[in-house]
Amino acid sequence: MFLTEEEKRMRDGAEGDAVAAAMDLLIRYSSALDAERLCDIRNVAGTMTQPSPVKARLVAEGGWDKAFAVINLDSDLDLTIPPMAVPTCQLQHGFGDDSIGVVPYPEANVLLQADAEAFYGRHGVNILATCTPYQVGNLPLRGEHCAWMESSAVIYANSVLGARTNCEGIASTGAASLTGKIPCWGNHRDENRFGTHLIDVRGQRVESFQDWGMLGYFAGGVAGEDHPVITGSVSRPDLTELKHFGAAAATSGGVELYHIPGITPEAPTVAAAFNGGTQPQAVTYGPAERQAMYETLNEIGSSPDVDFVLLGCPHASVDQIRQTAALLDGKRLSPSTELWIMAPRALKVMADRSGYTEVIERAGGRVLADSCPAMSRAAPRGTRVFATDSAKQAHYLPAILGIEAWFGTLEECVDAAVTGRWNGRLN
């Protein structure tokens, strides 16, 4: 592969052993991908602080330098980790100390993570602690090359922002953070960013948050790891609807990039979405397909007795927190049901200041930051049945925690939290 003089110097140790190990990893990774060169990047979203038993052992053996070398650089060498070379943020991780007594989550993990935050903060990692870095200030520009993890964030960056990233891993983002480089393949290249599948919405209008999630779930099933293009009867979506749509498409499939002509930035028209070439035959998303998505997302639900309501996947916007507070105002949760809404910590601060958190807590609910039940494998003790407005959580949490799931609207979820019963149905 082609390496610039700067990259050769990094490989040969001119910037220290840790950077050399990072460059070695990127060269091996590029070779496996047949990438011919590296891209310059200045935006990494990865994970360093997430606690795990392996990480705890490595830290006990050789501190955080050792943990970063093994986990984030795939190296057994004794390395001293320098400051990050480019702006780098921590995505979602475990729960923080304000979860103690609320979330059944090991206190040892909370302490390990706090230690990690101090180490990585000193090394220039911005602890955003959310799967939605684009909601809290990390907004790459159109065309900007990045190295991001987290499928729901990657699809948002590529499709809504027009930035360029593949779905990276812990080691590749670790190496990228010390070098400002990532293999230039896949979504980084112009020729790989066009539509591959056409989905035409007919016989109904997709305009609610729930409908955007179900359409995303359908699109992922149709496109797999390719690039769906959505046409037909859809409203102009907002940030939360695109967040839900993308997370769902990355869940039922492995979609990292989609286009909605006239709405997403790289597709002013349907023709542009397909680079002016032949368009594939459209797959219809009509009332029957909508009904099928609803039934699939509810197929794990059987008992109407709901123990737990989970909102905020991907992490909630402040407006979603406000809407939840408005629905809960003056109400009280059922004694047998808990409600958690997951949010970026920076937005929880806004919700606190705006009075939304107080209203939710007065009703018996919680606004929690940094993590989520799927990420940390933690739900209220004894949960057997949960309800959510997130297609992604309805898909994953039953498998992760062995519980039943109901998928519905925010209003239905809040009603379930207040009554303890699921009364959702597709309108």
DSSP assignment of 214-238 equals HHHHHHHHHHTTS-EEEEEEE----
Minimum CB distance to ligand F3S smaller for 223 or for 342: 342
203 DSSP assignment: E
Minimum CB distance to ligand F3S smaller for 92 or for 210: 92
Q: In angstroms, what is the minimal distance from the CB of 19 to ligand F3S?
A: 30
DSSP bridge pairs for 174: none
Q: Are 149 and 52 in contact (CB under 8 A)?
A: no
Q: Are 68 and 48 in contact (CB under 8 A)?
A: yes
Minimum CB distance to ligand F3S smaller for 342 or for 405: 342
Minimum CB distance to ligand F3S smaller for 93 or for 181: 93
Q: In angstroms, what is the minimal distance from the CB of 350 to ligand F3S?
A: 18
Q: Are 289 and 202 in contact (CB under 8 A)?
A: no
Please give the order of strands across the beta sheet that includes 338-343: 366-369, 338-343, 308-311, 385-388, 404-407
Q: Cα separation of 15 and 21, whole Å?
A: 10
Minimum CB distance to ligand F3S smaller for 183 or for 314: 314
Q: Is 196 exposed, middle or buried (0-12, 13-18, 19+ CB in 10 A)?
A: middle
Tokens 């809407």 belong to residue: 323
Minimum CB distance to ligand F3S smaller for 157 or for 313: 313
Binding site for ligand F3S (CB under 6 A): 92, 131, 152, 247, 313-315, 342, 372, 374-375, 392-393
Minimum CB distance to ligand F3S smaller for 176 or for 247: 247
Minimum CB distance to ligand F3S smaller for 182 or for 250: 250
Q: Cα separation of 138 and 134, whole Å?
A: 5
Q: Cα separation of 304 and 295, whole Å?
A: 15
Q: In angstroms, what is the minimal distance from the CB of 406 to ligand F3S?
A: 17
Query: What residues have CB less than 8 Å from 169, skipping those under 6 apart?
Result: 149
The helix-helix angle for 209-223 and 239-252 (nearest 10°) equals: 30
Q: In angstroms, what is the minimal distance from the CB of 345 to ligand F3S?
A: 13
Q: In angstroms, what is the minimal distance from the CB of 156 to ligand F3S?
A: 10
